C-alpha cells in the first residue's frame, strides 16, 4: 500500500508539473506534493531505522555481537599481549 501511494504521488507530481508551473494554484499543488513526498521519505527512513534497532535487540544478534567482540579481544591480545593492559589499569 505504501509503495502504491508513493507511485500515485509521483504520477500526480509529474502530471501537475507538466500542466503549467507558472500558475499559482499549480505551484501550490506542486509544493504540497513535494511536502508530502518529503514526509513519506522521512517516514520510510524512520521505519528503516526502527527495524534496525529492533533487529539489534534480538538475542541472536546480541550473541553474534558478543562473539565478534570476544574474537577481536583474543586477536588483539594474541598480536599485542599488553595492548589492553594500560586501558585496564586506568579503568
Q: Are residues 84 and 42 in the same domain?
A: no
Is residue 37 over pLDDT 80?
yes
Q: Are residues 11 and 29 in the same domain?
A: yes
Number of structural domains found in the chain = 2
38-83 residue pLDDT tens: 999 999 999 999 999 999 999 999 999 999 998 888 877 766 666 6
Torsion angle, alpha carbons of 63, 67, 70, 74, to 10: 170
Q: Supply the pLDDT for residue 61.
A: 92
Domain that holds residue 85: 59-91
Identify the DSSP state of 58. Answer: S
1-20 residue pLDDT tens: 445 555 555 555 555 555 55
CA atoms of 61 and 84, how far apart (whole Å): 25
Query: Span 29-37, mean pLDDT?
Result: 91
Q: Are residues 53 and 69 in the same domain?
A: no
Cβ burial 11-31 (10 Å sphere, 16+ → b, else e):
ebbeebeeeeeeeeeeeebbe
Q: Supply the pLDDT for residue 73.
A: 83
Q: Are residues 72 and 89 in the same domain?
A: yes
Q: What is the pTM of this model?
A: 0.48
Is residue 25 over pLDDT 60?
yes
Amino acid at each position: 500500500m505504501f509503495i502504491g501511494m508513493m507511485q500515485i504521488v509521483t504520477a500526480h507530481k509529474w502530471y501537475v508539473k507538466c500542466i503549467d508551473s507558472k500558475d499559482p494554484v499549480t505551484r501550490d499543488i506542486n509544493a504540497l506534493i513535494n511536502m508530502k513526498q518529503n514526509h513519506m521519505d522521512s517516514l520510510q527512513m524512520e521505519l528503516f531505522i526502527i527495524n534496525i534497532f529492533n533487529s539489534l535487540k534480538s538475542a541472536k544478534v546480541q550473541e553474534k555481537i558478543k562473539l565478534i567482540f570476544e574474537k577481536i579481544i583474543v586477536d588483539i591480545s594474541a598480536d599485542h599481549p599488553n595492548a589492553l593492559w594500560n586501558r585496564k589499569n586506568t579503568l
